[in-house]
Structure 1
Amino acid sequence: MRATAGATGTRTRVRSHTLVPDRHSWIDIAFTIALAGVAQSAFGTSFTGSTYLVVGLLGTVIAVAVTHLTRAAGWPIISAVVICLVLFFLLGGPLTLRSLGDTYALPGATTLAKVADQAIFGWKDLLTTLPPVDGDGPLLVLPWLSGVLAGLVGLALAHLPVRRAWLAAMLPVVGMTVLLSGAVLLGVRHPQSLLVQGSVFAGLALAWLAVRARRASATVQGGSTSYVRGVGAVAMLGLAAAVAYPASALFTDDDADRAVARNWVEPPFDVGRYPSPLAGFRKYVDLKGKSDPTNVYDKTLLDVEGVPADTRVRFATMDSYDGMVWGATDNALPGPADDSFQRVSSTIDNPVEGKDVQATVTLGEGWTGVWLPTVGALTSMEFETGDTRAKAEVFRYNLATSTAVVPSGMQPGDRYSFSAVVPDDELSETTVGSSELTPLPTGAGFIQGPTDNWTEDAGPDPMDRVLAAAEHLRSEGKYSDGIGRTERIYVAGHSVWRLADEFVNAPQIVGNDEQYAATMALIANDIGVPARVVLGAVVPAGGRVTGKDVSAWVELRAADGSWKTLPTEAFMSTTPPADQVPETNTPMSGTVIPPPNPIPPPSDAGEQSDADLKERKATRKEADEEDEGLIPGLPAWVGIVLTYVGGPLLLVALLLGAVVGLKALRRHRRRSAESPSARFVGAWRELVDHARDLGQVVPLGPTVTRREQSVGIVSGQAVVLARRADSFVFGPAAPEVAAATTYWESIDAERRAMSHEVGRWQRFRAAVSLRSLRRTAAGPAAPADPGQDDEAAPTPATGRVASAAGRLRGLADWRSRRTPD
């Protein structure tokens, strides 16, 4: 309903509380949902499928509906936030955790805890998981959360009362832009679609901004909306966005990666804490009749199905040498793929070309440890036995080295299936070595002299020099596992001492796969061809791999970035050494010399699982707490007090702070009402509410006038302030903004004076009192203006006066109860 005052040229409007959105609301809702959908499309490269977008848009629609309904009902924005939070948890289980077996009934404590955990810490799992993650997994909580936030922020900011028209038009657009930036920040280096996230989003944002600016301008200036100009403006914005997309290619670098949080977050996994599997190579050798429970030479390691014979199965790739062992590390060699062990989902985006295979592996009695045998470059992984969910959670994979790890450990009988791509890794005469030089590790300079001597006739080509050095090792070297009575002097290990003095510089080169592969990789790196060591096996006919099939080979980086296999037989001899010094003069025992600290001994006992490490850490933590308490340097009772007393006190403080904040928000809304009349009404109600919080008996109701209320307020200026409010609200002309500001200053001064008349405890009780927040019948008001506060809605004011004697008795009783300061 609209009423126009011809004498003053002003018009007032009673705010409608209909649940059906008007034309302006429909426009804001449509733009909010559209921009939210574009913003959430940034997750396209992070999730598989399109479920993430459906869940995110559903969250946006729900949040938009809740925000509009609460606003139509006249509730504060905090109510929309609370309702959206409740719906986020109630619907989060069925929508995002259904893959974990949750039902569509009311969620329990476990489901709610899982939703909260993913909402708080899911971003870390997303950034440390190799994209794309499972589109039906628990990380769907993140799109669900972003959708709810998008709907709540977009529509709430669209209807936020702001004095400046340009700021009111810009706020919701800025809010949606921030959400897009957050989605991009959590995404990957290469965007899903520059056209959608750039041009389409910019076009929609500018169109919404133009519509809102035009609407605000028409409201302020009293103009009318021109549909022709509006359509023309939208068309021009669309044309500008279409031209901007191809033009941007002239000013951008296609090779430059955008800044995303994934570049700055280190995956919470350190593969370096696990011993190098190459150091334990001698458990795969033939003991020639001797007994050793750790030896698996004749035991079944794994049964492989789905791959042809002679396929190479990779146990682990060692790409870093520290002077003691070749080990697996993160970011050891440069390359196009991420050289780090990351979480992966059931589907792995592995950009490798080759032959597709589907394989199933069953671990045999001889297999233990954390390394997971695989073939080629994985594109999917599925565990089929044991606690499959737990194994999938801790599973880590390195794209650059094609190495898989299960930190909780794998046991005999475990079964898993995977799909992979087997690349063409055969080394040919036309293969050109990479020119990316990698510096030799500290202490490995001993290899330079032998390398120069063995390759002086090979020419300048790096790959020719590598093959010449391999041929020298194969032709001049001898093979020994150090098992025979006269061969015990050839100990295990591949430290600098073992490879220098006891291998390449010894009178006779003698060793097994461990020493030959370690030395060959150092030689290739010294020549200028990046190399790494791989431990694995060649699948025999029938697919059963035993310990005797295990070998170590070297992979060389080609000029195109791919890795080519230098097989073991290309650089290792199979001829046994000649008889050496008799056993009585042997200066060394046949025991295996383990690497010195901090490198663990080459045995399976050193391959501790995550569960073992966590158990030891928990035991150590409990012992420390018994000695020092929960907080270092303080007694144990201090930590207990902080835990069981500090928590409830903090909760109470938050609740009381929320009450104070709601009152401050209410005061701000009243002070910043659009019409000056509404500001006068809000100022008086602020004084009335303050008196009620102080415990004063103030008459309320639709028939009570301001002057009647002033009698019930214990204040020297209440009567004067009530008359001033009536004179401006019901005066012949609309009040000025400056007059409203002066009136608010007088109200604030009177509120302070009333507070000083009571004690500190009563002031505190008034600050956190809920009395003024309770809904009461509307009091005296003024003719409403467009957009005024709900509390300023017009109500009839009669002149009914209550009994003065009874009111004075109430004031006398209140004065007798108040506490002196």
Structure 2
Amino acid sequence: MSGWTSPTATTPTTTGPTGDGERRPGWRHVRSAAATMPEQDPSSSRVTLDQVDDRTAPGLTLAGLRGRDRWLRVGVDVAALLVLHVLAAVTFQLTFGGRQVWVAAVGGAVVGLAVGVVGAWRRLPTWQVAVLVVAGYLLLGGALALPATTTWGLPGLTTLSDLVYGAVTAWKGLLTVDAPVEGIGTLMIVPLLTMLLSGVVGASVALRSSRPTLAWAAPAAAVLVGISSGIAESFLPVLVGVGFALVALTWTAHRRDSTQQSLLGQRRTTRWQSALMGAGVLAVAACVAGFSAPLVSPDAYRTVLRDEVEPPLDVLEYPSPLQSFRGHLKDHEEDTLLTVSGLPEDAAVRLATLDAYDGITFNVSNADALGPDAGLFKRMGRTVPEDVEGRRATVTVTVGGYDDIWLPTVGKVTGAEFTSARGGAIAENLFYNRVSGTAISTVGVREGDVYRLDVVVPRQPTSAEIEAAEAGEDELPPAEPVPDSLADTAQQWSAGASSAGAAVVAIEQELRRGFYSNGLEGDAPSASGHSVARLQTLVEEEQMIGDEEQYAVAMALAARSLGVPSRVVYGFQPESAGEVAIRGGDVTAWTEVQLEGLGWVILRPTPDKSQAPEPDESEREAKPRPQVDNPPPPPERPDYPPPDNTPPEEPRTDEDDRSRIDWGLVLLVAAAVGVPLLLLGLPVALVLGLKARRRKARLLAETMSDRVAGGWAEVVDRARDLGLVPVPAATRSEVARSVTERFPTAAEGPVQPHDLAWRADVSTFGPRQPSATQVDLYWQGVDELRRSMGRSVGWWGRLRAALSPVSLRPWR
């Protein structure tokens, strides 16, 4: 252009070399030459980061630096990224616990940063950097995250397979395990892999990218992974948040200054004064934030991913453990099931906590919409955080004749270690509900298994504390139907109580006035089970007779009827402490109620075993002896008559005997009577046979849900035979309503029609199949409802219904 003079043509060279070995024009002459330049459009001469590379700005990336500058760049960037990754590792602490998480997280970050530096230093293509990442993960991942599977830190086939498999499965597994999860399977791969990838990406962006100031985003992503995959409680949030911002902003300011120097082609001293001033301002802000954070958000609770993930264990697939109560007494009364050492005084062994009742059985449950406070069964690590007040102890359990999936525990478990040959398999499949204190291992425990538990036995309040307390507020799964007679009796027993605690104590005392019998040989008759019908018998008879199974369930349902959260605990109660051998005869059950300010309080409503009814009384009431007549006196010896000298008569011939039977008459009578009976009996036999065949087909249907649907069809067919004509398009609920209206005694029985209809709908349209035990219990309810319906029509109506062919015809 005219009027423009090139500085290279009019100025001498500068007196010193530049950073890249070339000589530049003296800045004094450049300024004088620049004064003659015409004004240009700033937008046409602005250089953006998208337009620069190693040729336009040699100092922007690591490849454009040499010597000391190169080492300084690597040192500053790696140090800043390492500090950010250490802060990110803090977010995994509460989730994993222990020290191994620091080895895995920081070790993974170091490996990732090293791979990123090598890739930038050697200017390796992306695929080669990826190969180095995989190689570093497989070679060093075992020593960092899975040391138990390595030999002297070297990976074996098990280590490599766990690293490959865990890279896919550990992420979901982490969300379904109750924290802390240290020592569980391959879950430690999550912090290792997160920090490894974050390190290599952060180093690559800082040393190779045209936007190095964005390198902090990689460790920030690691922080988000640690928080979202962790637990709701936070750990050092001010340190992580403010510390991360302090380091990231200071380092970013330094890198931005270096970038500007590279773009201008200058080499100036870093503005450390500005950086230090900025760091000071951030430090003051950090102090203010640290002191004000508890005031702004005390005990903050955050939503994390594990809150949205459904646990992998559905305990409703397993039958209620309380159903085996009488089995322990009948089959294993003198057998040693467990040997427990270190058992605290007055402590019981817990097998399961039951908080859901359906009218037939009390069962274990998971938290859901109807019972959000029941707790969740999650995989259990080596330790469990527990802040309950009580006595701490270490208990060792050696399994003898016990063989079940429910893991015997004591109090609240804070740690577990399995030392037997099957210990690894038991621990891998162990689930624990921290709310109920119930543990379950899906592979079960059996003879020879040994494990150690760190436990806390909660402090039990005094009687005065209990009677002064009100009911708790936990929402447990439904426990219904409660028998009306039991609810009415609970109201009578608790009349005049000044608090919920006083009410449940009054009910406990009244139940303890009953009699104890488990119905075994030599004891008073006492039916097993805890269905609605059995509980009605318990409270309606003149004498309450039962064992722990009935009394504990009756206590829990009575408390529920008063609005007090309650549950049943099934386990063993040995007679001594320390080292004890637990036998089948030590089986027991008790009730726990939740009271405000006291938590879960133990109640034992079962009468003492010495309070047994008189055997002869119970025998006369339940098993009357048949009346046996005295044998007749022996006959008197007859007198011999005098001899008869009359000549004997000639014997009759066979022909004469036959002549005395009129066979024609016999045949005629048989035809006259038998043929009508046969004509009448064939339809009856055909109807009864077809109904029996139909019932058998429904009982043996291919799927469990079809068997439940078949049970409901039996109810509908019974109603049709009794005279009910259902609407063809009616739903199960509508048919149940019609059954209740037509047959009033159906609503008075232990099983309600709408309950069976609801269960059939859940089985048909629900996401899972019912278990075989649930199907058997459903059919028991079907038979009970059929009998209740029949009581509305009398014996003649029941006979007509049994012979009626109406239900053999389709109705839809």
Which TM-score tier does this pair reach, normalised by the shorter chain?
0.5 to 0.7
How many Å apart are 1:543 and its aligned residue?
0.9
In 2, Cα distance between the equivalents of 1:517 and 1:486? 20
How big is the shift at 1:552?
A: 1.0
Q: CA deviation at 1:486?
A: 9.3
Return the match for 1:211 from 247, 250, 254. Answer: 254
Mapping of residues 145-164 of structure 1, within 5 Å:
145-162=193-210
What residue number does 2:582 align with?
545
**Partner of residue 242 from structure 1, selected from 266, 283, 287:** 287
State the distance in 1 between where 2:370 and 2:570 align: 21
The CA deviation at 1:325 is 1.0
Q: Which residue of 1 aligns with 2:179?
A: 131
Q: Is the 8 A contact 1:32 1:150 kept in 2?
A: no
Structure 1 residue 262 corresponds to structure 2 residue 306: yes
Alpha-carbon distance between aligned partners in 1 of 2:472 and 2:593, rounded to the nearest angstrom = 11
Letter in 1 for 2:456: V
Give, as a single letter, the amino acid of the residue that structure 2 aligns with 1:450: T
Please state whether the residue corresponding to 1:560 is helix, strand or coil. coil
* Structure 1 contact 46–187 (Cα < 8 Å) conserved: yes
CA distance in 2, matches of 1:25, 1:115: 30
Matched, 1:86 2:129: no
Q: Which moved more, 1:184-193 or 1:7-16?
A: 7-16
Residue 508 of structure 2 is matched in structure 1 by 470
Whether 1:3 and 2:22 are equivalent positions in the alignment is yes
Match of 1:413 among 424, 448, 462: 448
Q: Which moved more, 1:169-178 or 1:16-25?
A: 16-25
Using the TM superposition, give the Cα deviation of residue 35 of structure 1 relative to its aligned residue in structure 2, in angstroms. 0.3
Superposed displacement of residue 140, structure 1:
2.5
1:346 aligned residue: 382
Distance 1:422 1:57, change over 3 A: same
Structure 1 residues 581 and 575: CA distance shift in structure 2, 3 A: closer
Equivalent residue number for residue 275 of structure 1? 319
Instruction: Judge conservation of contact 2:81–2:199 (CA < 8 Å) in 1.
Output: yes
**Residue 551 of structure 2 contacts residue 606 of structure 2 at CA under 8 Å; is this kept in 1?**
no
Give yes or no for contact 1:473–1:573 (8 Å, CA) kept in 2. no
Equivalent pairs: percent with the same residue? 30
Report the Cα offset of residue 479 of structure 1: 2.7
Structure 1 equivalent of residue 653 of structure 2: none
Q: CA distance change for structure 1 residues 573 and 199 in 2, over 3 Å: closer, same or farther? A: farther
- Aligned counterparts of 2:424 and 2:553: Cα–Cα separation in 1: 37
Q: Once structures 1 and 2 are overlaid, which stretch shifts more, 317-326 or 139-148? A: 139-148
Give the alignment of 1:383-782 within 5 angstroms.
383-431=418-466, 432-436=469-473, 438=475, 441-444=479-482, 446=484, 447-456=486-495, 458-475=496-513, 477-483=514-520, 488=525, 490-500=526-536, 502-541=537-576, 543-569=580-606, 574-576=611-613, 578-579=617-618, 580-581=620-621, 583=623
Question: For the structure 1 residues 392 and 486, does the alpha-carbon distance in structure 2 shift closer, same or farther, using more than 3 Å as the test?
Answer: closer
Question: Residue type of the partner of 2:582?
Answer: V
Separation in 1 of the partners of 2:135 and 2:194? 15
User: Deviation of residue 182 (structure 1)?
Assistant: 0.9
SS of 1:555's partner is strand
Equivalent residue, structure 1, for 2:153: 104
Of the three residues 288, 292, 297, the one matched with 2:333 is: 297
Q: How does 1:310-389 map to 2 (within 5 A)?
A: 310-331=346-367, 339-365=375-401, 367-389=402-424
Q: Does the Cα contact within 8 Å between 2:181 and 2:381 map onto a contact in 1? A: yes
Q: Partner residue of 2:342?
A: 306
**Counterpart in the other structure of 1:183:** 226
When normalised by structure 2's length, the TM-score is 0.65
Deviation, structure 1 residue 193? 0.7
Measured at CA, do residues 32 and 469 of structure 1 come closer, stay the same or move farther in structure 2, by a change above 3 Å?
A: same
CA distance in 1 between partners of 2:483 and 2:282 (Å): 65
Cα deviation, residue 4, structure 1: 5.3
Distance 1:575 1:581, change over 3 A: closer
Alignment root-mean-square deviation, CA: 3.3
Q: 1:135 to 1:114 in 2, by over 3 A?
A: closer
**TM-superposed deviation, 1:142:** 2.1
1:160-184 Cα shifts (integer Å, max 9, x gaps):
544xxxxx25421222212211111
Contact 2:376 2:433 in 1 (8 A): yes
Counterpart contact for 1:313–1:374, Cα < 8 Å: yes
CA contact (8 A) 1:516 1:572 kept: no
What is the Cα deviation at residue 212 of structure 1? 2.3
Q: Which residue of 2 aligns with 1:226?
A: 271
1:96–1:136 CA contact under 8 A, matched in 2: no
The Cα shift of 1:507 comes to: 4.5
Could you list the per-position Cα deviations for residues 448-477 of structure 1 after superposition, in whole angstroms to 9, with x for gaps in the alignment? 322212222x323111111222222222x3
Contact kept in structure 2, 1:323 and 1:442, CA below 8 Å: yes
Deviation at 1:259, TM superposition (A): 1.9
CA distance in 2, matches of 1:334, 1:183: 31
Aligned pair 1:118/2:157, yes or no? no
- Paired amino acid for 1:185: S
Q: Is contact 1:96-1:137 (8 Å) kept? A: no
- Flag the 1:437–1:506 CA change in 2: closer, same or farther, 3 A: farther
How big is the shift at 1:2? 3.9
Structure-1 separation of matches of 2:324 and 2:97: 39
* Equivalent of residue 73 in structure 1, options 122, 125, 128: 122
In the alignment, does 2:80 pair up with 1:31? yes
Tell which structure's C-alpha radius of gyration is larger.
2
Go from structure 1 to structure 2 and tell me whether the alpha carbon gap of 1:12 and 1:98 turns closer, same or farther (over 3 Å shift): closer
**Alignment partner of 1:144: what SS?**
helix
d(CA) in 2 for partners of 1:573, 1:328: 31
Count of paired positions: 573
Task: Give 5+ residue unaligned stretches, structure 2.
Answer: 1-19, 35-54, 627-704, 709-767, 773-812
Residues 19 and 229 (structure 1), Cα distance of their counterparts in 2 relative to 1, 3 Å cut: closer
Distance 1:11-1:354 versus aligned 2 partners, 3 A rule: closer
Task: Output the CA distance in 2 between the equivalents of 1:60 and 1:455.
Answer: 64
CA contact (8 A) 2:58 2:262 kept: no
Deviation per CA, 1:489-518: give whole Å up to 9, x if none. Answer: x42211222223x22234443322111111
SS at match of 1:343: strand
Shift of 1:426: 4.8
> Structure 1, residues 194-221: CA drift from partner, whole Å, max 9, x if none?
1221111121122122222222333335
CA pair 319-222 structure 1, distance change in 2 beyond 3 A = same
State how far apart, in whole Å, the 2-side matches of 1:415 and 1:130 are. Answer: 23
